[in-house]
């Protein structure tokens, strides 16, 4: 190897060393200057926090249970096979003030669950004179008081949900379990409270 070749090799070696140092320094600098992402958990208070203090009502005869605010009152009617739940706070306010503006006409928050052995028992008790008893689906679809009808999954079963005009506007769910029919009516119970109550409904048999 002559002198020129030795000189070139020395220069090349120096260039390699400088390049290595420069690249290493660049990555070290980038690593230090790049902010580290930190995971933070954000807790948003919801109605579910209040549900921890709710009470559970179980009806062995009709085979269901449901959770409700602790101050709600229960009324069972074995003659007509229904159970109703009322907000005692709203009921007391309406009774005390007798104010038609309270809760849109003096009706306390109310959830009613009616039980029928089958569709025919329910439809035959409606009071209409049918030439031929309609199916539940036919009755609901032909009822002019039914609005915003939708098919939903409720407590693991296919069900219908709609708004129904009457003495009070009702949010109504029709759901079958082993051919038995349950009708759940909500009056004056706004969201999210109404949906939270409905979400706790469970069949027990």
| pLDDT tens per residue, range 115-174 | 999 999 999 888 677 778 899 999 999 999 999 999 999 999 999 999 999 878 899 999
Q: How many other C-beta atoms lie within 10 A of the C-beta of residue 109?
A: 22
pLDDT band, very low/low/confident/very high, at 190 (cuts 50, 70, 90) = confident
Please give the pLDDT value at position 131: 79
Residue 136: name the closest of 30, 23, 64, 126 by CA.
126
Range with the lowest mean pLDDT among 20-29, 48-57, 103-112, 172-181? Answer: 20-29
Q: Which residues lie closer than 8 Å to 15 by C-beta, 6 or more apart?
A: none
Residue of higher predicted confidence among 36 and 137: 137
The pTM for the full model equals 0.69
149 burial (CB, 10 Å; 0-12 / 13-18 / 19+) is: middle
Residue 124: name the closest of 181, 70, 75 by CA.
181
Predicted confidence (pLDDT) per residue in 87-116, tens digit: 876 555 444 444 444 444 445 689 999 999
Edge-to-edge order in the sheet of strand 146-154: 72-77, 82-87, 110-116, 180-187, 170-177, 157-164, 146-154
């Amino acid at each position: 190897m002559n002198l020129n070749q030795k000189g070139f090799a020395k220069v090349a070696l120096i260039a390699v060393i400088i390049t290595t140092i420069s690249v290493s320094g660049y990555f070290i600098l980038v690593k230090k200057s790049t902010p580290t992402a930190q995971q933070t958990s954000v807790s948003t208070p919801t109605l579910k926090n209040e549900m921890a203090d709710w009470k559970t009502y179980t009806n062995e005869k009709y085979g269901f249970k449901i959770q409700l605010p602790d101050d709600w009152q229960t009324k069972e009617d074995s003659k007509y096979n229904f159970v109703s739940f009322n907000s005692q706070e709203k009921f007391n306010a309406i009774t005390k003030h007798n104010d038609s503006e309270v809760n849109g006409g003096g009706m306390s928050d109310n959830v009613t669950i009616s039980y029928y052995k089958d569709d025919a028992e329910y439809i035959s008790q409606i009071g209409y004179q049918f030439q031929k008893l309609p199916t539940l689906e036919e009755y609901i679809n032909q009822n002019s008081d039914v609005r915003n009808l939708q098919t939903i999954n409720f407590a693991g079963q296919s069900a219908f949900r709609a708004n129904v005009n009457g003495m009070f506007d009702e949010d109504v769910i029709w759901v079958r379990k082993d051919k038995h029919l349950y009708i759940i009516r909500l009056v004056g119970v706004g969201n999210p409270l109404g949906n939270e109550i409905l979400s706790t409904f469970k069949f027990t048999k």
